[in-house]
């Protein structure tokens, strides 16, 4: 059973996700591709965590909530939502892997690789597209399934 507090948390996470999406779009304008990818990942992560909050799961320290989302949201969702939510899982797989890659320089093949040089415009645009779809789908799902009586 979803509590009022969990709904409040879910709504707060959705608001934060919207800000991350705005930030990602701004980074694209300034050609900060790696920053756009990171903020897009944050948007998708927070949207998934909003859905998990509605299932009573309010703390996940991992930055990839996909496993929890698959089991605790998709598996419990009304049949009419399952395909859309599975699609989100599929599309966010790459984006979730970018959490660290988009933030930290690392050594790869005896060279220093920086996030700034690792991403291209197309990567940033795809990340934002995925984040936007994830946020839109999850927000619509939550409004229909969890927020309708609140």
Q: How confident is the model at residue 42 (pLDDT cuts 50, 70, 90)?
A: very high
Whole-angstrom Cα distance, residue 149 to residue 136?
Answer: 20
pTM: 0.94
| pLDDT score at 1 | 67
Is residue 150 in some structural domain? no
Is residue 85 in some structural domain? yes
Domain that holds residue 132: 4-145
Is residue 94 in some structural domain? yes
Rg of the chain over Cα atoms, rounded to whole angstroms, equals: 16
Distances (CA, A) of 58 to 2, 79, 85, 120: 11, 24, 19, 34
Give residue-wise pLDDT tens across range 19-35.
999 999 999 999 999 99
| pLDDT score at 65 | 95
CB burial of residue 147 (10 Å; 0-12, 13-18, 19+): middle
- What are phi and psi for residue 94, nearest 5 degrees? -65, -45
Is residue 57 in some structural domain? yes
Q: Give yes or no for residue 58 having a pLDDT over 90.
A: no
pLDDT over 70 percentage in the chain = 98
- Domain count within the chain: 1
Is residue 47 in some structural domain? yes
What CATH number has the domain bearing residue 94?
1.20.120.330
Whole-angstrom Cα distance, residue 113 to residue 91?
Answer: 25
Q: How confident is the model at residue 150 (pLDDT cuts 50, 70, 90)?
A: low
Give residue-wise pLDDT tens across range 71-130.
999 999 999 999 999 999 999 999 999 988 888 998 989 999 999 899 999 999 999 999
Whole-angstrom Cα distance, residue 104 to residue 92?
Answer: 20
């Amino acid at each position: 059973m979803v509590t009022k507090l969990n709904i409040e948390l879910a709504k707060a996470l959705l608001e934060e996700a919207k800000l991350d999406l705005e930030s990602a779009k701004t980074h694209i304008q300034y050609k900060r591709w790696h920053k756009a990818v990171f903020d897009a990942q944050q948007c998708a992560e927070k949207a998934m965590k909003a859905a998990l909050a509605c299932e009573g799961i309010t703390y996940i320290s991992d930055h990839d909530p996909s496993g929890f989302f698959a089991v605790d949201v998709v598996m419990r969702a009304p049949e009419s939502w399952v395909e859309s939510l599975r699609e989100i899982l599929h599309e966010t797989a790459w984006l979730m892997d970018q959490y660290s890659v988009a933030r930290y320089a690392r050594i790869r093949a005896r060279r220093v690789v920086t996030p700034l040089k690792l991403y291209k415009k197309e990567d940033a645009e795809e990340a934002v597209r995925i984040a936007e779809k994830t946020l839109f789908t999850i927000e619509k799902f939550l409004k229909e399934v969890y927020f309708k009586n609140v």
